Structure 1
Amino acid sequence: MHYIVDGPSNNHHGHVPSISEIPRSTCAILITGFIYDAHGNDAWILRLLDLLKELWTTRPKVLFSGVCFGHQLLSRLLGAHTEPTPGGRWELAHREMVLNPIGQKLFRTNTSKLSLHQMHQDQVTSVPSTSTTNLLSQGQKVHVWASTPIQGLYIRDRLFTSQGHSGFDEKMVYRQIEMREENGGIKDNEHAAEAKETGHLKHDGVVVASAILPFFHGDDHDID
């Protein structure tokens, strides 16, 4: 694990490595969630995008996965639009999504729905393609795995992302909302209270985590 967030003004003292610091034996990159905006132009975010681009182009066997901030940043890397939600409204706590056939294959389920906890007010609003980036080759398919707003992307043998958090439980949901209320990030207290009430609901975080691991092992090669 490498802490990359380098925002001294917020007391974050991480380090975005150069590509030479990443061993050639590295076969997968996972970018987790964080409080920063993936559409922002903080110096460390721009350095991270440069690093990811270099990895994507020079190490074609490396697999990429991202959750929340990571989902948005990897989408941005490939030219997708990542921006605040209308009115800055937060998507909080329990969210049910409808899986399409690609999603059902990735999550190895016959059910049509998947639920995850959310904690963001930014979103990916377009799907990457060869018209948005030169990092994708002609014929390379970019799949959205849910038939709802862009909650996750999948590219065979290359990319698997999720906007929702696989590791959040009721206590984490409650505390994360509470922290954002205290620092003024969430101003709609009624919306926050309603979201807290859903923290106990069953979610599929284990299902998502269990899908990312096979992707890293190359078990999803036949899904496209």
Structure 2
Amino acid sequence: MGDQRRDETTEQAGETPTVRMMVLETDEPHHETQSRRGTFGSILHKHFTDAGAAHDPPLGIETDRRFVVTEKGGTMPKLEDFESCHALLITGSVYDAHGDVPWILELLELLKKLWIHHPDMHFSGVCFGHQLLCRMLGATIRPSPTGDWELGHSKVSLHPVGKKLFRTDDDAVYLHQMHQDHVVAPPTPETAGGLLRPGEKVEVWGYSEHTAVQGVYIRGRMFTTQAHLAFDEGMVKRQIEMRVESGSLEDGELADQAKETGALETDGDLVAGAILSFFHGEDEGIE
């Protein structure tokens, strides 16, 4: 699982601009999902490939995938492995982003080095990845104060910057959620330990009843999402079942209700398109 793996879109060289993305896989899907759709990195590659095809003009996507959970056979990449990457994306995980297990601490140190040594790289993260990037910049991550989960199909209300990022006049997007932990407040230049410039803007693009920080945006640097953009019905049900079986999700009624929302339509394509445009450097005019 620690080996480098690469996915590439089918394109004619020299005709389609290509975004080169490194996906750090911080978990493995349910074995049935993996046999059907591949790893989390493969699933995201397919999602971004579709977003690239819908982009005007079309964009290609080249994805290197690294499984980084070293205690499960993964390998942490080195700084030089990112030399040709435009963008980095960190997947969701059953692990706690506020945890201090060795591989998470090692990943945090790698992210800090990348942030410093690759100032042109664009960073994104989903769920765990969103929380870990915020932690890197000094934000506090902890479980919901009431211990409840945000689960299944959910409404994410948009702040003005979110509407600009998603190029929509709608007041909300709808995405699948799978978390109990949350980012308490967005990072700031004061919390970031020198990783952000004084006065650098950190904006929250969306919120829900459960979670005030549904995603963070820093122009030209970071665009994260607490919700999952590529989950389908099967993944929603299996990921919930995995958490019930592990004992981390004890509310059986909530779990059953959330599984029933798995088939509802989401705005995952819209979010993938917005993040891909960000990766391609198209957010310069967004304030």
Q: Would you call these one fold, judging by a TM-score over 0.5?
A: yes
Aligned equivalent of 1:54: 113
Residues 101 and 24 (structure 1), Cα distance of their counterparts in 2 relative to 1, 3 Å cut: same
> Which amino acid in the other structure matches residue 157 of structure 1?
G
Q: Which residue of 2 aligns with 1:184?
A: 247
Residue 113 of structure 1, aligned match among 172, 182, 191? 172
Q: What is the CA-CA distance between 1:18 and the residue it aligns to?
A: 2.2
Matched, 1:155 2:155: no
Is 1:66 paired with 2:125? yes
1:139, distance to aligned residue in structure 2 (A): 2.3
Alignment of structure 1 residues 4-19 onto 2, 5 Å: 4-7=68-71, 12-19=72-79
The correspondence for 1:2, drawn from 66, 70, 74, is: 66
Q: What is the CA–CA distance in structure 2 between the aligned matches of 1:206 and 1:180, rounded to whole Å?
A: 26
CA distance in 1, matches of 2:156, 2:207: 7
| Structure 1 position 144 matched with structure 2 position 204 | yes
Shift of 1:87: 4.2
How far the C-alpha of 1:98 sits from its partner, in A, is 1.0
Query: TM (normalized to structure 2)?
Result: 0.74
When residues 84 and 213 of structure 1 are mapped into structure 2, their CA distance, relative to the original with a 3 A threshold, is same
Deviations 1:165-206 (A, max 9, x none): 001111111111112212222111011111112222221111
SS where residue 190 of structure 1 aligns? helix
Kindly tell me the number of residue pairs found equivalent between the two proteins. Answer: 219
Q: Secondary structure at the match of 2:120?
A: coil
Question: Which of 100, 124, 132 pairs up with 1:41?
Answer: 100
In the alignment, what sits opposite 1:219? Answer: 282
Answer yes or no: is 1:194 the counterpart of 2:257. Answer: yes
Q: Which amino acid aligns with 2:68?
A: I
> Alignment identity in percent?
53
1:52 Cα deviation (Å)? Answer: 0.5
Distance in 1, Cα, partners of 2:114 & 2:168: 32
Unpaired stretches in structure 2, ≥5 consecutive residues: 1-64
CA deviation after TM superposition for structure 1 residue 17, in Å: 1.7
User: What SS is found at the alignment partner of 2:238?
Assistant: helix
Q: 2:142 aligns with which of 78, 83, 89?
A: 83
Shift of 1:88: 3.0
Find the aligned partners of 2:245 and 2:108 in 1 and give their Cα distance.
31
Match for residue 135 of structure 1? Answer: 195
Q: Displacement, 1:70?
A: 0.5
Which residue is equivalent to 1:174? Answer: 237
TM-score by length of 1: 0.94
Distance 1:80 1:26, change over 3 A: same
Task: Give me the whole-angstrom Cα distance separating, in 1, the residues matched to 2:96 and 2:232.
Answer: 23
3-state SS in 2 of match to 1:57: helix
Residue 116 of structure 1 aligns to a residue whose secondary structure is: strand
Q: CA offset at residue 67 of structure 1?
A: 0.5
In angstroms, what is the RMSD of aligned CA positions? Answer: 1.2
Where 2:116 maps in the other structure, the secondary structure is helix
> By how many angstroms is 1:23 displaced?
3.7
| Partner deviation per Cα, 1:108-158 (whole Å, 9 max, x = no partner) | 111111111011111101111111011100221101001441000000000
Q: Which letter maps to 1:32? A: T
Separation in 2, partners of 1:51, 1:179: 29
